[in-house]
Chains A and B, each alone.
Chain A
Amino acid sequence: MAVTDNAITAQQGEPPTGRADEVAPTRVVTPSGTGTPFTRILGIATIIAMALLVLFGLFLSPADVVQGDAVRILYIHVGTVWIAYLAFGVTALSSAAFLWKRTTSLTWDRIAGASAEVGVLFMALTLFAGSVWGRIAWGKYWVWDARLTTTAFLFITYIGYLAVRGLGGSHQQRGRRSAVVALLAVLEIPLVHFSVKLWRGLHQDSSVADTTNVKLHDLMLFSLFLALIAFTLLYAWLVMHRQRVLAMQDAIEDKGLDYALQQRRDEGDL
């Protein structure tokens, strides 16, 4: 049994009176799955795109003249970093939407949270794939380059954001608190990037090899685009499911409280 799209949208469509979100949504009653026809199609499309990416990335596209087979790591690396930035962007936008006039639904908060979780995961993959590639291409796992350092800061900042989400309190409180932190992160990251760039710029040249002049083979370019599409599909699929799981978690918490209150009342009646 699956939660239908209707159940989710019905929940989103509740009257926007601040309190409504904290009252248990009654219609989410079958917590045995988060799939809908749409996400199933999306999931199948993701699998196909991923299979194609493996085919093109590992077999059909040629090895690079300079980097050799190491260039194949970049199909993963560029795809994951794109998703991480997309995810953090979505987190910022949904946080802003949640704070807007205070009347909007907790769904925005859950999308922000789901997106940030996926973003942190993909940022970890980016850092991992990037350092493996760096070891092969530059001979080092890590260099103190502005872009790398900013990425590491972004990663830590959103781990902090997820920690703020786990602080507890009411759902509205969680939403407001984490939305403000997400928007502060948007202020913070450009500052960090700018300062690290200035720091590196004045001290030593960036150690990153200049690869901008390298002309990409057509099949390589195609594989890169395929990677972006495949990872974007995966991102959408993950966030939709995670958002629904978060909605269920909130519903369980609400219901758990109602249940406990009812039990105390029943005790009183005895």
Chain B
Amino acid sequence: MFRIARVIAAKDLRIELRSRVVTNQVLPFAAIVMVMFAFALNTDAVVEKVAPGLVWLATLFSLLILVQRAFAIETADGATDAMRAAGIDPAGIFLGKAVALAAQLAVLEIVLLAAAFVLYRAHFRVSGLVLLVTTFLAATTGLALVGTLYGGLAAGTRGRETLLPLLLLPVVAPVLIGATRATEAALGTSGAVVADGWPWLGLLAIFVAVFGVGGTLAFGPLIEE
């Protein structure tokens, strides 16, 4: 299972490195979303206060595109059917695609966070660094797992472009809440202290565990025809 996952993840990332869809399309999209948030919220003080939430909202929007892309490369040539016909363990496919998605999300989040420091003047503090890094790791893993699960469900069906946001956004709401609060605690937004962030990290960890197990079990029946 893990060997298959490694092969699948390497394949997805290789495709990404060669096609550069994330760097050329998704990253600029996320950047323009960040700028648009500033337009909508207008005042500097407000933008600074809500910066962690905006980073995660922009991540969620980009996640929708990344997931579409991750499964478009599978369905375009009937690759999913071929893998199924070859008897490849669906759990391996699930984990592999989730790892590849997590890697792409991580790159995106680093850029978004950097943009938040520059554009929104979010404050950085060393004492919150551990919380910040673990929060980003946990949230990224959670988003990648759920994204892969629902992406696999919507792939290869009519109307998947419109269905995916409807299915995915309610599910990732806990990640948005948890990651935003933990990031606020790590950065000290509106006087939050670092210790406030750890319960939220716990929430993210539960989310990862639930959808890690649930997704590994459910992915097989979902992509089976």
With both chains docked as a complex, state the minimum distance between the C-beta of B44 and any C-beta of chain A, in angstroms: 23
Q: In whole angstroms, what is the CA distance A191 to B178 when docked?
A: 11
Task: Assess the A199–B181 pair: CB atoms within 8 A.
Answer: yes
Q: Is the CB of B167 within 8 A of A187?
A: no
Q: Which residues between 98 and 131 of chain A lie within 8 Å of chain B, taking CB atoms?
A: 99
Of B166, B173, B199, B221, which contacts A192 at CB under 8 A?
A: B173
**Contact of B94 with A by CB under 8 A:** no
Are B218 and A184 closer than 8 Å at their CB atoms? yes
Closest to B206 in A: A191
Name which residue of chain B comes closest to A166, CB basis.
B159
Contact with B along A146-158 (1 / 0, CB 8 A): 0000000100110
Within the complex, what minimum Cβ distance (angstroms) separates A166 from chain B?
9
Report, as a range, how many residues of chain B touch the other chain: 20 to 34
The one of B158, B199, B225 in contact with A173, judged by C-beta atoms closer than 8 angstroms, is: B225
Given that A168-B157, A202-B196 are contacting pairs, would A195 and B203 also be in contact in the complex, using a CB cutoff of 8 Å? yes
B153 partner, pick from A156, A181, A195, A202, beta carbons under 8 A: A181
Contact A164 B173 (CB under 8 A): no
Question: Are B177 and A195 touching (Cβ within 8 A)?
Answer: yes
A153 near B158 with CB under 8 A, answer no
Interface residue B207 (Cβ < 8 Å from any Cβ of A): yes
Instruction: Count A-B pairs with CB separation below 8 Å.
Output: 74
* Residue from the list B157, B178, B224 in contact with A195, Cβ < 8 A: B178
Q: Does B222 contact A (CB under 8 A)?
A: yes
Q: Is the interface of B mostly helix, strand, loop or mixed?
A: helix
Q: Quick check: is B163 within 8 A (CB to CB) of the other chain?
A: yes
Chain B residues with Cβ below 8 Å from A194 are 174, 203, 206
Contacts of B207 in A (CB 8 A): 191
Q: Which residues of A contact B211 (CB under 8 A)?
A: 187
> Which residues of the partner chain A approach B199 to less than 8 Å between Cβ atoms?
198
Contact status A167-B173, CB under 8 Å: no
Determine whether B210 belongs to the interface, using a CB cutoff of 8 Å to chain A: yes
Q: Return B215 CB to nearest CB of chain A, in Å.
A: 9
On whether the beta carbons of B174 and A192 are closer than 8 Å, the reply is yes
Alpha-carbon distance between A156 and B170 when the two chains are bound, in angstroms: 7
Report the minimum CB–CB distance from A4 to chain B (whole Å): 34
| A159 x B153 contact (CB < 8 A) | no
CB pair B203–A180 under 8 Å, yes or no, is: no
Q: Is the CB of A184 within 8 A of B221?
A: no
CB-CB under 8 A from A181, the residues of chain B are: 153, 167
Q: Which residues of A are found within 8 Å of B196, using beta-carbon distances?
A: 202
Contact check, A180 vs B210: say whether CB atoms are below 8 A apart: no
**Is there contact, CB below 8 Å, between A167 and B170?**
no
Contact at A169–B170, with CB atoms within 8 Å? no
A7 within 8 A of B: no
Question: Can you name 18 A-B pairs with beta carbons within 8 Å?
Answer: A156-B170, A157-B170, A160-B167, A163-B163, A163-B166, A168-B157, A169-B225, A179-B221, A183-B218, A188-B171, A191-B206, A194-B174, A195-B173, A195-B174, A195-B203, A198-B200, A198-B203, A199-B177
B residues lining the A interface (CB < 8 Å): 149, 153, 157-159, 163, 166-167, 170-171, 173-174, 177-178, 181, 196, 199-200, 203, 206-207, 210-211, 214, 218, 221-222, 224-225
- Which residues of A are interface residues toward B (Cβ below 8 A)? 99, 153, 156-157, 159-160, 163-164, 167-169, 173, 176-177, 179-181, 183-184, 187-188, 191-192, 194-196, 198-199, 202
